[in-house]
């Protein structure tokens, strides 16, 4: 894995790992009714890669950690009324990353992926 370019990159990698290992990433994707295939097309990766991430057998690369965390946090925000612990975990992640200056204005969120449709 390449060395992270900034402290924010390190936090992004850490938060993505925590979200995948805790099951929050999978739970938010499922609550949003997004399939692994839809997410994989959005990120430009294979569906098995998403499965590896969500099972904790592999971690997202530095290159994909940013787009993946954007996706997760945007969907968590769209589900913010939920009491689900995974949603609340990713809302806290979004708040932390915003305080660090991580940009959420790039692709991979509710406007880009419509559940049940190809991305």
Instruction: Answer yes or no: CATH 1.10.260 is held by domain 7-99.
Output: yes
Q: CA-to-CA distance for 60 and 66, rounded, in angstroms?
A: 9
Domain ranges of the chain: 7-99
76 close to 34: Cβ distance less than 8 angstroms:
no
Mean per-residue pLDDT for 92-119? 67
Residue 105: what pLDDT? 65
What is the tens place of the pLDDT at every residue in 2-52? 555 788 889 999 999 999 999 999 999 999 999 999 999 999 999 999 999
Contacts of 68 by beta carbon, 8 Å cutoff, 6+ apart: 16, 25, 43, 53, 60, 108
The pTM score is 0.80
What is the tens place of the pLDDT at every residue in 50-95? 999 999 999 999 999 999 999 999 999 999 999 999 999 999 999 9
């Amino acid at each position: 894995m390449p060395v992270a370019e900034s402290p924010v990159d390190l936090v992004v990698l850490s938060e993505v790992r925590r979200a995948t290992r805790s099951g929050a990433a999978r739970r938010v994707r499922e609550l949003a009714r997004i399939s692994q295939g839809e997410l994989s097309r959005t990120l430009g990766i294979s569906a098995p890669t998403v499965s590896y991430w969500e099972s904790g057998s592999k971690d997202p690369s530095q290159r994909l950690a940013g787009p993946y965390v954007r996706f997760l946090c945007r969907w968590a925000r769209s589900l913010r009324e939920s009491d689900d612990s995974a949603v609340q975990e990713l809302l806290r992640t979004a708040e932390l990353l915003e305080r660090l200056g991580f940009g959420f204005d790039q692709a991979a969120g509710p406007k880009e992926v419509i559940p049940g449709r190809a991305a």
